[in-house]
A and B are shown apart, each in its own frame.
Chain A
Amino acid sequence: MSAYSGELRKLTSLPSVWAAFAVGIAVPAVVGVLSAVSTSAAIANGTKPEAGPDLGYQELAFGVAGAIILGVVAASSEYFTEGESAGSGRQITTSLTAVPSRTRFLLAKVAALTTAVVLMSAIATGITLSCVQAVVGDHAHALDGAAATRVPGVVLYWVLTALLAFGITLLTRNGVVPLAVLVLNTSVVTVTFLLSKVTPLAVYFPDLAGMRMFLTEVRVPVELSPITGGVVMAVWVVLLLACGFTAFTRRDA
């Protein structure tokens, strides 16, 4: 428990974590409002009968960048080399002196990361969906009955993505590669979506599968149910975390 609160304190003391919160909350809210404004204009002049079912949720799929940064920074900040004037040290040596059991250390880190991402995604989802609802009014699907399953889907998607980023960063020990791969793949047309043009197997990539938990309109060759999508993504996360854990417990710090 003390390891957990220690990790939580470390996270809150990192400026990058606050930047990640800003990205995760502001991006979907701002873009959600912009989309909602153009959608309600289209409804008003009759070009669109009603708002699409994914309005608001689609934007939350981009806000996951905040969760990616959080997952990467949680691991890479331990390996950042201080300058010569600070003894060229890395935080990981201090962390492992304080918590010598590497398993306990990692479990505390995963728990702290999960707590932070749940908080961030809950705030982001709440703000984005209420803004969309406020702008589009009665035509919005944002907070209809299906929200009861879709909102937890968003939170789960963000948590799993953060853990995926954390697992990859444990392997690379450097934030640049996981950031490049994962943020690139959060773009408007994702790389995995492009690959689904080459092979239908691409729908089993973690992001395309996981999005099923809260998006209804994803134009890919194979349709997965929300449950299957979530399970496929969870399997990826468990496998990558297992690799990360093994590497972390076996390698020199």
Chain B
Amino acid sequence: MTAVAPTRARGSEFTRSSHAEVLKLLSLPATLLTAAGSLLVSAVLAVAFATAGRQGSTGTASALDIGLAPIGYTQAGFIILGVLAATSEYTGGQVQTSLTVVPRRVLLHLSKVVALVLIAVPTALVVVLGGLVVANLVLGDAAVVPPFGDFAVGVGGAAAYLALTAVLSSSVATVIRRTVPAVAGLLVYYFIAGPLLRDRTAFAAYLPDTAGYGMWFHSGAGRFGSLSALVGTGFVVAWVVLAVAVAAVSFRARDA
């Protein structure tokens, strides 16, 4: 009888747990449904914005600005994606299994962040490009096409903003642990409190939603807060780092 050598998976513990988290996220039907829903909403709103653009009521004919305008709404899909990535662990006690397999809590938490980024970035690129293509088709001859450099910066910034928003949402949901309260709180902030504060207060420029406008809506400078694109990006990243840190500490300290 020959002793069977213990099989060892390749890669570091972190790589393997991140890989496992990607597989988990992909196996959730809600992930695919959210991504498809975001793309659909992006396309429908691109038609609406482009129609308004043809009538001249958007104040800009730039194909880039009009094509990116739906991002203000499709970010809801990425908020939901982030929340579901975190709260799905807490329906039916899956988190206990996860922690049995990967007992290091901070490592597990960071693997989840990596997995979410790996899924959110390509999804965001598809959603952003989808909106741009539809807007261009509807605008037709009326489109003012910006130089390729602006185009690449706009698309990259928008995709990065959406992915960062998903990570921020998943951190909030890790602390709240329940889907409906987390979704309700984040949506009320991003769609009601945030925009209303933006028009009325100066400090709103530093909040994650308004600062994020600098990342993708360049012609909105001045209207959406006083920060430059680079400083705005810095503030969004800082908020995300803070949120991930708070969520990691809370995940490590609390009972699962």
Contacts and interface: CB of A to CB of B under 8 A. Distances in A.
Contacts of B48: 191, 194-195, 197-198
A198 B134 CA distance: 14
A187 B191 contact: yes
Contacts of A80: 180
Contacts of B47: 198
Contacts of A186: 191-192
A184 B201 contact: no
A171 B164 CA distance: 32
Interface residues of B, number: 35
B161 interface: no
Interface residues of A, number: 37
Given A85-B93, A197-B52, A183 B187 contact: yes
Contacts, number: 99
B180 A73 contact: yes
B226 interface: no
A179 B51 contact: no
B200 A179 contact: no
B187 A62 contact: no
B121 interface: no
B193 A27 contact: yes
Contacts of B195: 187-188
Contacts of B147: none
A176 B92 contact: no
A187 to B, nearest CB: 4
Secondary structure of the B contact surface, majority rule: helix
A186 B192 CA distance: 7
B35 interface: no
Nearest to A202: B48
Secondary structure of the A contact surface, majority rule: helix
A16 B196 CA distance: 23
A38 interface: yes
Contact of B183 (A81, A180, A197): A180
B6 to A, nearest CB: 31
Interface string A1-42: 000000000000001100110010001000100110010000
Contacts of A184: 73, 76, 187, 191
B179 interface: yes
Given A38-B200, A176-B180, A180-B183, A62 B192 contact: yes
Nearest to A83: B93
A134 to B, nearest CB: 17
Given A183-B188, A194-B45, 7 more contacts: A19-B185, A20-B184, A27-B193, A69-B188, A175-B179, A180-B187, A187-B72
Closest 4 CB pairs between A and B?
A175-B180, A197-B52, A34-B200, A183-B187
Interface of B: 45, 47-49, 51-52, 55, 57, 72-73, 76-77, 80, 84, 90-93, 179-181, 183-185, 187-188, 191-193, 195-197, 199-201
26 contacts: A19-B184, A23-B188, A27-B188, A34-B197, A65-B188, A80-B180, A83-B90, A83-B92, A88-B92, A175-B180, A175-B184, A176-B179, A179-B180, A179-B183, A180-B76, A180-B187, A183-B76, A183-B187, A184-B73, A186-B192, A187-B72, A188-B192, A194-B45, A194-B48, A197-B55, A197-B57
